[in-house]
Amino acid sequence: MSDATPSGAEAPIRAVIFDMDGVLVDSEPLLFEAERILLAELGAELTEEIKKPFIGLGGHEVLQALLDHFGLAADVAALGKHKGEIYHEMGRTVPGFAPTAELARAVHVDGIPLAIASGSTPEGIAICLAAIGLTEQFPVQVSVSSVARGKPAPDVFLAAAERLGVPPANCLVVEDAIHGVEAAQEAGMRVIAIPSVTDPLDPGFGRADLLVGGGMTAADSAELIAWVRARY
């Protein structure tokens, strides 16, 4: 891990906001499969390389970006509903990531409030948190469907902070995507980046306050917990 920014003059952390897909749950393969099915129905072949640049965008934003890539026209809202139906069924058995789950549990025990700020639907968030046993830790769950703009706009993080009753400067975000890092920083929050795409590693991740450059396989829960606790 690399601590990119000194914290001496920073406001103490009073809340931690987690992205969900790629951070708490290993759902990117499921999201990809749902999108692959959708695009196949439209006559396009989605590959993992095509999807890479769009990981971390809001739900409708990623669908629109994929439609634009393939030069397709379709009702994004209808596609999003269909994608949700496919994804929700798969999400009931989605695996979690131990390092971030342990971080969430430790912070919750410390009495620091937590929130989810996700590009998934409210139903998708609820299903995935239940699958990994973290529903109790996240009473505040903000879906991109409840804000005007998805990531990289800061709306979903600002909405989470407002619902937590904590100023953005006192919020820490945990993200896996460059669009999410950009959104958190635009919101005026600190951010831990655990990239889901490490080859190549986007240089923009270097702006994170803490970067786990090797991704989730290099994440150590004890180190993450110690880093966060030192900033309460």
Q: Is 19 a catalytic residue?
A: yes
The single residue of 19, 155, 176, 209 carrying the catalytic annotation is: 19
Cα–Cα distance measured from residue 80 to residue 45, given in angstroms and rounded to the nearest whole number: 18
The Cα-based distances of 191 to 8, 10, 109, 160, 185 in angstroms read 16, 13, 21, 14, 7
Q: Cis (ω within 30 of 0) for the bond into 122? A: no
Q: What pairing do the DSSP bridges indicate for beta strands 2-3 and 210-211?
A: antiparallel
Cα–Cα distance measured from residue 116 to residue 127, given in angstroms and rounded to the nearest whole number: 13
Q: Cis (ω within 30 of 0) for the bond into 95? A: no
Q: Report which of 158, 145, 140 is spatially closest to residue 119, judged by C-alpha positions.
A: 145
The Cα-based distances of 132 to 6, 86, 92, 215, 228 in angstroms read 33, 19, 9, 20, 22
CA dihedral 58, 63, 64, 67 (to 10 degrees): 160
In what side-by-side order are the strands of the sheet with 190-193? 2-3, 210-211, 190-193, 171-175, 15-18, 114-118, 140-143
Residues annotated as part of the active site: 19
